[in-house]
Amino acid sequence: MSPGRVRRAAPGQRPMRSPAAARAACIGLAASLFVAFACGAAPGVVAETGTAPTAPATVTLRARVVATGLHGAYGIRQVGRFHSGGPITSNPEFLLQTQPGRVLDPERVLVALEDNLGAALGNRAHAAGSVLSIDPRKAAASGGPIAVPANLAVLPQRGAGGALQIYTAQTEANLNRKHNGGAHTAGFAAASGPRYLSINNAFGRPWIANAPFGLRGEGSESVVDPDGAPLANAPSAAAGGVFAGAATARESVAKTVRSGSFASLWNRTPSAQLTPGALRNGAFGTALLGASPDGSGFAVFAVVTGDGALVQAHVQDGVDGLAPPGTIAVGAADPGLIGIVFKWSPTRVLYVADAQRDRIVLLHLGDDTRHFTLSRSSAFVLPWLREPVDLAAAVPEIANPRFASHTTLAGGSDLYVVNRGDGSLLRIAQDGRVLARAAIDIPGEGRVGARRLRSIAVSADAQRVWLITQRVGSDESLLLEVDGFDAAGPFVQPAALPDSAPAQSAALGERIFRTAFTQGTGLGPLFNADSCLACHPGPGGSSAQEDHFAQRVARMDSTSGRITPLDGHASGLAPRLATRASGQSAVAAGLPRGANVVSLRMPLALFAARAIDAIPDAVIEAQAFAKGDGIKGRVNFVTAADGTRRIGRYGWKADIATLDEMVAEAFTHEMGVNSALAVHPQAPIKDDGSLVRAVSAYLRGLLRPTEAAP
């Protein structure tokens, strides 16, 4: 909040004459309560209780500038992976757009711009707008930021793989009438004054919250196909792919609660709205709520509007209200965007940024089997909330096939909060405890101050954070990347290794691969061999010597046949050798006494490591289905070292997600060189990740002998 701004108190409360006075009053209240109404909350919003507030740990994050030249930049979101069985992966043309280098490549970041980037407007009565797809890896590889040209749309067509690609814009080709000529909103574009992005990675598409007429004009919420146009073959004839104003209110409900596409299309009856509400003002935030409680399987999104209300948009039935006007204080000035995230388990809660009141509103949701309902509201008011403008899940929900979206909290996830008032980031728990605070430094520009931070997005692996920040003395915005952080400080990022890893890294990795380790260099106390080369001759092949075979051990119940892991052998491996005093030969380690199942596993060849990394998740998932011969498989999802759920690619049971983790597991369990990059690091740590990353770089360039250059 700007210095000197007077904030109105809630009815019956004494006015607070300045933000500083308001915060001082809050801190001075009973320490066991977050008393929301004392800090200007709206009537009907109750306080959240918690422990006494204490000053959070403060860390400094060094920003990397990903892109410059952004104008009118608001919401950002990483694309993320679309689950199999949804409309993106089931349509070959759509699926193509998610492949590496394409506009919806899961690693790319989408940025909402109130800028047509030089393209002609499709509807001159509506605001300009576009959604730009940026590949942050290109900035990392080049060592400098990507400059966004003002006329990007009219430059020669850039093919797949370009650092900058336009996903959608306010052009004739992307108006709703392209596929929905009879819709009430046929003249609306997928992006027109776009402010916020939420992607249904579970079973749908990207959705965009728009303010085509600014704060006070009617808003729109669009559902966008991979080609950038509003939804084709839309289930709602009135809306097509764009909900707007009062023109797309609910028109039907389910007769009974059923499931399945046939039931969802034919099991309907006309209905007026179940809860009053409309997109009468600009749309400034949106988040996936999941499938409708009516059993139809259709998606429902929450939308925050410029009058401080929230509505819900059912992709088939239309718009209902969710929370009344004034739930969020918007004020007379355009807020830019209003951050929102959703917690789906174990209870349903929408967290919404309320910058004008220095708080976060919690909307606790229920349902009546037809639509979502508001059960109660509460708020977090903390002295470290300084005009919170945007929110993000510290760990986005990427695994659940019904709720996957980067605007959804994974189980137990904290929240990141963007404070526009002082330029800081907060990490807070779901119960309102402030865990850590961060300040942002931009090399060459210094500390990011008040009024500059605008929006936030978190990577699918929960390790990186992207921010939109305003450049000092300019209307230009920057896309920044920083490390994630918590109370222990910033997350340490592994050194980025592009596909063409530096020759020196690969050369170092080869030397490590061939090196015979000793006790002095970290070998043991339990191990199978003293070098990578011993079990993978060639190098990179597979040893046929039995004494190089790994021993997988377990215990089988002699009655039930149930297999259980052995205490002290969580990996399931029993190394063959044990170190002795310095200068003495190793001795046989012996099998664990409790083992009654031993399976010998031949070392795996390593030549194809780089090819395994390159296989898209969707291709692996497609192989799980029967091809007409009755044979099918099951994709093995595993928990990676960073806590995210991914497809297993490496190991005898495809139980390791990444090449780095496979190498780290081998160092740890085959040589006793415990690595920090292992899935379950073991003390004492002997490798901080440097050995593992170097060997991984070497393996990525390792060719089979028949592929070697002549």
Given the candidates 3.40.50.300, 2.120.10.30, 3.60.15.10, 2.40.160.40, the CATH classification of the domain at 60-488 is 2.120.10.30
- In this structure, the chain runs to a length of 710
Of 74-88, 252-266, 314-328, 394-408, give the lowest mean pLDDT range: 252-266
- Residue carrying the six token digits 């409360």: 13
Take residue 352 and report the two structure tokens written for it: 């919404």
Take residue 599 and report the two structure tokens written for it: 């399976």
Closest among 357, 226, 372, 210 to 298, alpha carbons compared: 372
| Total Cβ atoms within 10 A of residue 136 | 22
- Residue carrying the six token digits 């959804």: 408
pLDDT score, position 130: 98
Domain with CATH 2.120.10.30 in the chain: 60-488
pLDDT score, position 560: 66
What kind and span of H or E run contains 244? Answer: strand 242-244
pLDDT score, position 564: 75
Give per-residue pLDDT as tens, 427-459.
999 999 999 999 999 988 899 999 999 999 999
Cα separation, 658 vs 639, in Å, equals 11
State the average pLDDT over residues 635-657.
Answer: 86
First-to-last alpha carbon distance for the chain, in angstroms, is 68
Give per-residue pLDDT as tens, 226-245.
999 999 999 999 999 999 99
Residue 327 reports pLDDT greater than 50:
yes
- Residue carrying the six token digits 């080709």: 173
As a whole number, the mean pLDDT across the chain is 85
> Contact, 481 vs 136, CB < 8 A?
yes
- Residue carrying the six token digits 């052009």: 171
Take residue 12 and report the two structure tokens written for it: 């019956």
Ordered alpha helix ranges (H), 55-120: 87-90, 92-96
Longest Cα–Cα distance in the chain: 86
Of 30-39, 131-140, 365-374, 471-480, give the lowest mean pLDDT range: 30-39
Percentage of the chain surpassing pLDDT 70?
85
Closest among 101, 64, 59 to 464, alpha carbons compared: 64
Q: Is 159 helix (H, G, I), strand (E, B) or coil?
A: coil
Cα separation, 487 vs 178, in Å, equals 50
Residue 35 reports pLDDT greater than 70:
no
Selected residue with higher pLDDT from 493 and 457: 457
Percentage of the chain surpassing pLDDT 90?
55
Of 38-47, 251-260, 694-703, give the lowest mean pLDDT range: 38-47
Packing angle of the helix pair 503-514, 690-700 (nearest 10 deg): 100
